[in-house]
Structure 1
């Protein structure tokens, strides 16, 4: 299942939402760092569109882990970004750059991602874009 996770992150870095969606189950549960759980590909696509408007991000230093059964996986990486447009409730965007460690956790079934949970330190991000 590492290949599914690798394809998901390759699509992220290519800014190819359709390819990301192809890695997901129809009823994917998307757990974001700060916010409600979104269920389904349509809400995931809306989230991606919002993120693309506000942030330009590239993930590096990727390490992917998976269990032997291929039902669970995790990834640790660095988010290298530019804050493009002010996001509601966050500091004003002025094209600030940031570099932030993050991680994602996945459930997989039949080669598709059924859950994505992403964590990062919001206080660290806020400090970087507020400097």
Structure 2
């Protein structure tokens, strides 16, 4: 079970890095629970689709240094990685986008059931991201 989960998550992150939203969607459950750092919980594949469209419009990101960890059952897993990004379009409530680049560590927790990703919970340091896009003395 563990190997199956690792393969599933590897495909998920490969699709992410390829900008293949449809590939990501194929791997998640219809009733997906999606939690993002300091944001609201989104329920369902449709909400996840809308989130991905928004992210694609505002950010261009690639992940590196991926480390996957899976429990013995394959039902729970986590990933640690580095996000390399470019801030393309101003996201509501955040600093103005001017094509700034950023690089920050992040992590995601997963629940897997019946060969699909059931939950995605992502964490990163938003304060670090803000300093990278506006500078240490910047206001927004």
- When normalised by structure 1's length, the TM-score is 0.99
1:10-65 deviation digits (Å, cap 9, x = unpaired): 00000001100111000000001121110100000000000000000000000000
Please, what is the CA RMSD of the aligned residues?
0.5
Q: CA deviation at 1:111?
A: 1.0
Q: Could you tell me which of 82, 103, 106 is aligned with 1:99?
A: 103
Inter-partner Cα distance in structure 2 for 1:126 and 1:63? 25
After the TM superposition, which residues 37-76 of structure 1 pair with which residues of structure 2 at under 5 Å, given as runs?
37-76=41-80
**Do structure 1's residue 108 and structure 2's residue 115 form an aligned pair?**
no
After the TM superposition, which residues 71-86 of structure 1 pair with which residues of structure 2 at under 5 Å, given as runs?
71-86=75-90
User: Between Structure 1 and Structure 2, how many residues are aligned?
Assistant: 131
Largest Rg, 1 or 2? 2
- When normalised by structure 2's length, the TM-score is 0.93
Aligned to 1:126: 130
Inter-partner Cα distance in structure 2 for 1:93 and 1:34? 19
1:58-94 deviation digits (Å, cap 9, x = unpaired): 0000000001111000000000000000000000000
Inter-partner Cα distance in structure 1 for 2:73 and 2:38? 30
Inter-partner Cα distance in structure 1 for 2:121 and 2:127? 18
Three-state SS of the structure 1 residue aligned to 2:32 is strand
Inter-partner Cα distance in structure 1 for 2:92 and 2:103? 21
Tell me which stretches of 4 or more aligned residues in structure 1 moved more than 6 Å. none
